[in-house]
Amino acid sequence: GLGGGWRGERPERAEPLTDAEREIIQNTWVHIYENCEDVGVSVLIRFFVNFPSAKQYFSQFQDMDDPEEMERSVQLRHHARRVIGAINTVVENLHDPEKVSSVLALVGKAHAVKHKVEPMYFKILCGVMLEVFSEDFPEFFTAEVQMVWTKLMGAVYWHVTGAYTEVGWVQLSSSAV
């Protein structure tokens, strides 16, 4: 209906992680976070190469097509750090749902209000993160671990898009992607 179809499929709540699942996330995150700089950059480069329309929000590299050039972009590296930093805050606070919720609400609000980013890009980015994590750390990302991370990314997306609803996001999903 009006206001974009992405809202219609929104569940009542994000599915909470069990204690065992939380532990799996935290144990695998340790390995990713040790390489956070490289992983973050890899995630964003794959995101922008595969979904070039997402570059429109970044003045510094919106016209770049070359991944090596993108990799040198200070703006891209800075954003990579922020993305990984946000996930780190989520992982470190999985025991505190209120904190997770408020952190991701701030992320959602900033992207909706200040940057006017289409919410579907969060869904895409979550998928790219899962891909890169499991490709770069295959020894830790077994099928079970991937399933748990998929559940976490679903929760991340749920919280972020909740903030869009709260600020009254009504832009129709663009067909650019």
Q: Which CATH superfamily is domain 19-167 in?
A: Globins (1.10.490.10)
**Integer angstrom CA distances of residue 62 from 127, 147, 177:** 21, 33, 15
| Tokens encoding 125 | 């980015």
Determine the pLDDT at residue 10.
72
Which residues lie below 8 Å from residue 109, measured CB to CB, with a gap of 6+?
A: 163, 166, 167
Determine the pLDDT at residue 13.
82
Domain ranges of the chain: 19-167
pTM for this structure? 0.89
Which residues lie below 8 Å from residue 108, measured CB to CB, with a gap of 6+?
A: 119, 122, 159, 160, 161, 162, 163, 164
pLDDT averages per 10-residue partition of the chain, 177 residues: 50 89 98 95 97 94 93 95 97 96 96 94 97 97 97 96 92 54
Determine the pLDDT at residue 48.
97
Determine the pLDDT at residue 173.
54
Determine the pLDDT at residue 176.
53
